[in-house]
Amino acid sequence: MATAAEIVSGFKAGVQEAKEKEAFDDFFESYESSYALTLADPDEIMIATASRYGIETEGREKNEIVKELLKKKGDYD
């Protein structure tokens, strides 16, 4: 059985994880907030990298592709 300290610690870790996920999702809400990542690299490099990892790029916004790439290969979920 878990101690009270372990329960509180687990709860705090869960809250922190939720905040980080929310901040990650908010970052990609618009090009203005994700400008540094989504516009920094040439499209050809981003598309080639996404394709290498099996990420569909056709008909998608650049910030959506970069977000998925970070989720798959950047340990963000």
**pTM, two decimal places:** 0.53
pLDDT in tens, 39-60: 666 778 888 888 988 999 999 9
- Domain count for the chain, please give it: 1
The residue range of the domain holding 44 is: 31-77
**Sorting pLDDT into bands at 50, 70 and 90, what band is 19?**
confident
CB 34 within 8 A of CB 66: yes
The mean pLDDT of the chain is: 78
Give the 3-state secondary structure of the chain: CCCHHHHHHHHHHHHHHHHHHHHHHHHCCCCCCCHHHHCCCCHHHHHHHHHHCCCCCCCCCHHHHHHHHHHHHCCCC
Summarize pLDDT for 7-17 with one digit per residue, the tens.
Answer: 777 777 777 77
> Which pLDDT does position 58 carry in this prediction?
92
For residue 67, being part of any structural domain is answered with yes
Residue 5 in any domain: the answer is no
Would 41 be classed as within a structural domain? Answer: yes
Is 58 a domain residue? Answer: yes
Residue 76 predicted with pLDDT over 70: no
